[in-house]
Amino acid sequence: MNPQSEEELQRRLKELEKEVQSKEVRSPFQGFIESESIKPLRELNFTSIKLQLERFMVWYKNLSDKKRLIVLVGGGIFALGLLQALLKLVTGIISLAILAVLLYVGYKFFVSKKLPRQ
């Protein structure tokens, strides 16, 4: 390398370092953290969801066959796990409702009959 191009590279490197130091570093998640950028749920629109779905489909179509199969199986396992958790939650709520009814009926029959009325 000749000394002139090396000096030019050093000068350019220092300029880039100054530029990087002068700019504010912004995290990709910073928009989610800032309170003014958080939208209420009613303001969410389907265009952003549609856009994310389209991005996923493009990404999925660019995968090889083996990777597509892996993503499909992984997504299926995740979906089944989510469904199982949802069913357990519903089962727990129903069980608590039945227990509450049984406790109420037991209270009415056994405890309230034993209390003397004034």
Helix ranges (DSSP H) in the chain: 3-22, 30-33, 46-61, 65-106, 112-114
Q: Tens digits of per-residue pLDDT, 42-79?
A: 556 677 888 888 999 999 999 999 999 999 999 999 99
End-to-end CA distance of the chain: 108
Separation in Å, CA 23 to CA 18, 19, 26, 117: 9, 6, 9, 80
Higher pLDDT, 99 or 116: 99
Q: Tens digits of per-residue pLDDT, 69-114?
A: 999 999 999 999 999 999 999 999 999 999 999 999 999 888 877 7
Model confidence pTM above 0.75: no
